[in-house]
Structure 1
Amino acid sequence: MDLTADPCDDFYQYACGGFIAKHASTDPWDSVFNIQLSNDSMNQNIKKMLLGDSYEEELRKARDEFADCIFNRNLTDKVTLSTFNEIMKECTFTMMYMFEWELASAYVKQNPHEESIEAVRNMIDAIKFEFWKIVTNSGWMDDTSLNETFKKVQNLILILGYPPWFLTASRRPSVAVLRQQSPFLIGATYFTYANLIFFPLLTMSPPFYNLGLDVLDYGAIGAIIGHELTHMFVTYDIDANGNRIRIWPSFVIKLYDDKTDCIRVQYLEAFEKFLSFWEGESHKIGKNKKMEENVADFAGLKAAFYAYKQLNGPKRKLVDFENYSTEQLFFVSNAHLMCSRETMEFMKSLILRTNHSPFRYRVNLPMANFDEFARAWGCTLGTKMNPHKKCVVW
């Protein structure tokens, strides 16, 4: 954290300034992300499997290839411990690519994470319920759009951690299936036509989950859950059975577009200001740039927050953060998940070439438009994190 920063001026700097300083670099493309920690933890576990005694034929092959990767290379310089660790890391990653099915299957059999999966399933139910309350109370969706959307909520399929057949299948699945449902993936995904959300096993560990307090989990993976649920709710041109058909009347779609246009304007203004560092770059932002990911960040944060507020039981304090309220910890956890040192060039690439926004904007803009954030941090109306005009979809 950067306690010299004002949380009401730039919350991302306040929550992530320490992470940014710790990972300073002069390389214009060398970005570092806190979410990589889950991948690093998984890599350590896979490395232990590759170094252990594996009796399964598939793992023996992986171990042999792993040994070849480490020792059968021409090294001209003296190998230091640091160099050897980098070689081990590189070879572990290579094995995860070459033997992804074998390693993934063995890993989930040894580490089924059943308790974490069940706990996350309960979180999803709680956030889904709260999300539906927010939607129905918003007042701008008619009965038809609500009824058709509710069918999607009822038919939603969840795959948590890994597909169940990972524990029983003896044959390698297709590459396409493995790439979409591997437990080694970092991010959750909503599959539109299947009405299915997949949360890989990596999202069942820090910095996403198992952070020690419920409020921290809801701020991190809870907001991710809300994000993916939003994709389901706003996909108004696909019905509950995966058919391409509009389930919202035209006037409801117009209301939705008007509300999300407020978000579009905020992001485009922020992007144009950022791109002004490069002459002639700001005009490259498409005025029709898709905003679904940003809308999902807005709505997901709100749903997770209100779902947490419905939890019963004592609200425990976090060591060294005793002076922070539970509401403040929720927002710190949400920002901490997205802490990164994104270089200027990387941020420009995200803005111009993808539908995702740089993490600084994914933290600051949704929070600045959420009254509960301003209330938690005592931000005066008119400050950057509590502007007079706010965008609200639901």
Structure 2
Amino acid sequence: MLPPTAPHEDIIVVSSPGYLEKLSEQLLSQSTQRTIQAYLLWQIINEYAPSLSEEIRKPLQRLNAKLRGTNAKVTKPRWETCLDQVDLSLGFLAGRYFVLETFKRSTKARADEFVESIKESFLNRLPELEWLDEVTRDRAIEKAHGIIHKVGYPTKTPNTMSPVSLSDYYSELAIDQDDYFGNYLRSREWLIMKNWRRAGKPTDKSTWEMTPAIVNAYYNPVYQEIVFPAGILQAPFFSGEYPDYLNYGGIGAVVGHELSHAYDNNGRHFDAKGRLREWWTKETLEAFEKKTTCFVDQYSNFTMEDEDGHLINVNGKLTLGENIADNGGIRQSYVAWKKVYDKKKDSKENMLLPGLENITPEQLFFINYGRIWCGKSTKAQAKQSILTDEHSPPKWRVIGALQNSKYFADVFKCSAGSPMNPVDKCDLW
């Protein structure tokens, strides 16, 4: 399974041995050699066709449109295709120019403040949780203290703002302005070999899994870090011109979301040093599983309509980790913001928006949380998302988390037992 040129170590860690064993059994018992060859050939076609001529791309585009429920006649603009490829191949280099254009030092400083305040909110929350026993609580607090955060762009491996560092980082990648497909192949090979060379060497925790312009964020359980590229530190998630209540309702909820991932059904398996081991007591684990069942049941009752008018239920088990993170994130961000807001209500960071004076800052916090998940999709796309995505559909990410928020119910004065203020709420972090 390994490429001939890959560095071969004495020990190779297989994260999912059970899956590979069953896959091998099924392939050997149910698939002919011809079928396996056809599958491997298809994987090559599926990987490389998007970077070839329109004549080759069109059949694949029609297939993907059918599978994804999109319009086969609507093609991605050429500039967008090129931009995606540049980010894939030269993302840290391109990220330098994105950062210079869009990311101020003051933005990073303010984002750092948000992360620290939300982390403090989470640490203050842990002693309040009665379902955590003392041993597990102490370990959870130790883990929270050890989580580091990265904001904006990497300063090592490579340093996005250093032309010398970037030149050294990409020194082995040959780019030919007259050979687009060759550039694609060489960049893929370069990236794969760069990753293989890391095998067997000390962990370099300065590396980033995302480039600066990406609109996303992540939690790395092994490195014990939460990372927020410059791309997500833009409107509607964040702006230096926004009042605090909009920023906390936007990027603040994302920060809380990533922090909560350290304690969801997946992240909880990693301890304060990023080691995969069981550090919860049996009693606390049983209480955790009982509480997570509430989220599974709640989200499994949410539905989306497919293209045939049939209702499809959200998979509460598949989406559990993300739902836990959404609920924990919005709570920690709101509590952190209120602590800041109550000290400086009349400051410019909390000024009311013109024309919206009748809407309170508390309400606007939640309104902006809903706004960051606004989107549009076909019913066929929604169906595919429900079947395959570990995230709940955006609509239910908002409604699900806010149904469980006592703060939302208080702010909007939702009567007890109403859809947005159910009597029985799911509560964890």
Pairwise same-fold verdict (TM > 0.5) = yes
Who is 2:42 aligned against? none
Who is 1:181 aligned against? 210
**CA–CA distance in structure 1, aligned partners of residues 262 and 352 of structure 2:** 34
The question of whether the paired residues in 2 share the 8 Å contact of 1:149 and 1:247 is answered with: no
Structure 1 residues 352-385: Cα deviation after superposition (integer angstroms, max 9, x where no partner): 1121011000001110111111111121222211
Structure 1 residues 75-100: Cα deviation after superposition (integer angstroms, max 9, x where no partner): xxxxxxxxxx9554554444444543
Shift of 1:150: 1.6
Asked whether 1:171 is paired with 2:168, we answer yes
Name which of 284, 305, 321 aligns with 2:356: 321
The question of whether the paired residues in 1 share the 8 Å contact of 2:300 and 2:315 is answered with: no
Asked whether 1:270 is paired with 2:302, we answer yes
Who is 2:251 aligned against? 221
**CA–CA distance in structure 1, aligned partners of residues 400 and 319 of structure 2:** 16
**CA–CA distance in structure 1, aligned partners of residues 368 and 315 of structure 2:** 32
Gaps of 5+ in 2: 1-75, 171-189, 196-206
The question of whether the paired residues in 2 share the 8 Å contact of 1:104 and 1:182 is answered with: yes
Structure 1 residues 80-128: Cα deviation after superposition (integer angstroms, max 9, x where no partner): xxxxx95545544444445433322344356653211111111111111
Asked whether 1:306 is paired with 2:335, we answer yes
Instruction: After TM superposition, list the pairs within 5 Å mapping 1:84-163 onto structure 2.
Output: 86-108=77-99, 113-163=104-154
The question of whether the paired residues in 2 share the 8 Å contact of 1:237 and 1:244 is answered with: yes
Instruction: After TM superposition, list the pairs within 5 Å mapping 1:370-389 onto structure 2.
Output: 370-389=405-424
AA aligned to 1:239 is D
Give the secondary structure class of the aligned counterpart of 1:361. helix
AA aligned to 1:114 is R
Shift of 1:154: 1.8
The question of whether the paired residues in 1 share the 8 Å contact of 2:214 and 2:229 is answered with: yes
Name which of 225, 248, 268 aligns with 1:236: 268
Shift of 1:255: 0.6
**CA–CA distance in structure 2, aligned partners of residues 230 and 108 of structure 1:** 27
Asked whether 1:334 is paired with 2:369, we answer yes
Structure 1 residues 237-288: Cα deviation after superposition (integer angstroms, max 9, x where no partner): 21111211111111101111111111110111113x7569666965xx7674
Who is 1:36 aligned against? none
**CA–CA distance in structure 2, aligned partners of residues 320 and 361 of structure 1:** 29
Shift of 1:172: 2.6
Who is 1:253 aligned against? 285
Give the secondary structure class of the aligned counterpart of 1:181. coil
**CA–CA distance in structure 1, aligned partners of residues 331 and 98 of structure 2:** 35
CA root-mean-square deviation: 2.7
Shift of 1:171: 2.0
Percent identical: 25
Give the secondary structure class of the aligned counterpart of 1:322. coil
Give the secondary structure class of the aligned counterpart of 1:171. helix
Query: TM-score when scaled to structure 1?
Result: 0.72
Task: Decide whether aligned partners of structure 1 residues 206 and 286 sit closer, same or farther in structure 2, where only a CA change above 3 A counts.
Answer: closer
Structure 1 residues 30-59: Cα deviation after superposition (integer angstroms, max 9, x where no partner): xxxxxxxxxxxxxxxxxxxxxxxxxxxxxx
Give the secondary structure class of the aligned counterpart of 2:426. coil
Instruction: After TM superposition, list the pairs within 5 Å mapping 1:280-291 onto structure 2.
Output: 288-291=317-320
AA aligned to 1:216 is L
Larger displacement relative to structure 2 (337-346 or 362-371): 337-346
AA aligned to 2:423 is H
Query: TM-score when scaled to structure 2?
Result: 0.66
Give the secondary structure class of the aligned counterpart of 1:159. strand
**CA–CA distance in structure 1, aligned partners of residues 421 and 89 of structure 2:** 49
**CA–CA distance in structure 1, aligned partners of residues 151 and 317 of structure 2:** 34
Gaps of 5+ in 1: 1-84
Higher relative contact order (CA 8 A, sep 6+): 1
Larger displacement relative to structure 2 (91-100 or 210-219): 91-100
Who is 1:78 aligned against? none
**CA–CA distance in structure 2, aligned partners of residues 110 and 217 of structure 1:** 20
Who is 1:41 aligned against? none
**CA–CA distance in structure 1, aligned partners of residues 235 and 223 of structure 2:** 28
**CA–CA distance in structure 2, aligned partners of residues 108 and 209 of structure 1:** 15
AA aligned to 1:187 is N
Task: Decide whether aligned partners of structure 1 residues 286 and 89 sit closer, same or farther in structure 2, where only a CA change above 3 A counts.
Answer: closer
The question of whether the paired residues in 2 share the 8 Å contact of 1:342 and 1:358 is answered with: no
Asked whether 1:357 is paired with 2:392, we answer yes
Give the secondary structure class of the aligned counterpart of 1:119. helix
